[in-house]
Amino acid sequence: MSLAIVSKVGQDLSMASLNVGNLGEYLREQRRQAQLSLRQLAEQAGVSNPYLSQIERGLRKPSADILQQLAKALRISAETLYVQAGILDERDPDEVETRAVILADPSINERQKQVLLQIYESFRKENALDAPADEMPS
C-alpha cells in the first residue's frame, strides 16, 4: 500500500517524520476490521469525531493517552499504536513493555512520562557501555 504525502503549506516533511500518516492508515484499517464507524470509535475512545478524522488522515499526532484510549476501544495493544506513532521503536519486548507501562500510567502527566523515559533510556545506554563486548546486545 503506497502512502500519499500531503504537501500543503505548513505540512512538509516534518509531518512524515512523525509517522502520523502511517498511524492514520493503521488506525483506519483497525477501525474497519473492528467494523466501527469513525463516529463509533470516536465515541468509545472519548475523542471528537473531527479530531479522530484528522488523526486518520495524518494531520494530527495524538498523545500517548489518546493512543491508549483508541487502543482500548479497538481492543488492540497500546504498544502497537505507540510503535506506529513513532513513540516507541520496535525493540526488545521487555523494553517495549516497560516504556508502554510508563506511557500508560494515568497518575503521571505527559512531561513526567517523557522525563522518566529519558532517564530509563540513559540508564540502558550507560549499562550497555559498561557491558563487556561479548555481552552487548546486537
Q: Using alpha carbons only, how large is the chain's radius of gyration in Å? A: 17
| Measured distance CA(83)–CA(27) in Å, rounded | 12
Range from 3-17, 32-46, 66-80 carrying the lowest mean pLDDT? 3-17
- Average pLDDT over all residues of the chain: 78
pTM score over 0.85: no
Long-range contacts of 2-8 (CB under 8 A, 24+ apart): 6/58, 6/59
pLDDT digits (tens, 9 = 90+) for 93-132: 677 778 778 887 889 988 898 899 889 888 988 888 877 6
| Measured distance CA(68)–CA(121) in Å, rounded | 21
pLDDT digits (tens, 9 = 90+) for 20-47: 568 899 999 999 999 999 999 999 999 9
Classify residue 29 by its DSSP letter: H
Q: What is the pLDDT of residue 13?
A: 30
Contact yes or no for 3/25 (Cβ under 8 A) = yes
